Homo-oligomer: A and B are copies of this chain.
Amino acid sequence: MSNSMDTAAVLAAFDEIARRRDWQSLHTPKNLAMALSVEVAELCRHFQWRDDGEVERMLQAGEAGSVEVESVAAELADIQMYLLKLAAVMDIDLDKALADKIAENRRRF
């Protein structure tokens, strides 16, 4: 993975699709938070009946496992996009929030 994420580009692409489909009015903070929880649960679906060893094997598997890993990757992407959009509509500076959390964690721990 690269060292930085082009968040502006991700957000721009998200908004571009939203405009094409006229979805902007749906993207309220409440709806986005709910969508985030749905996507995270989609992710959990891959793990709910597996123990850590089985998850490990699923990740290592070549051909057979890669379709599922692709699916997990797609869900992580959805979570990332909704997270960036949610921060944007709430006017929350995510970088600052991260810096504050990191500083707080360093103090606590």
Contact = CB atoms under 8 A, between A and B. Distances in A.
B40 A44 contact: no
Interface secondary structure of A, over-half rule: helix
Given A1-B87, A83-B79, A94-B1, A31 B49 contact: yes
A80 B72 CA distance: 16
Interface in A57-102: 59, 69, 72-74, 76-81, 83, 86-88, 90-98, 100-102
Contacts of A40: 33, 36-37, 40-41
A98 B83 contact: no
Given A5-B7, A69-B92, A102-B10, A35 B17 contact: no
A47 B8 CA distance: 26
5 contacts: A3-B7, A28-B52, A34-B34, A41-B42, A59-B91
Interface of A: 1-10, 13, 16-17, 20-21, 23, 26, 28-31, 33-38, 40-52, 55, 59, 69, 72-74, 76-81, 83, 86-88, 90-98, 100-102, 104-106, 109
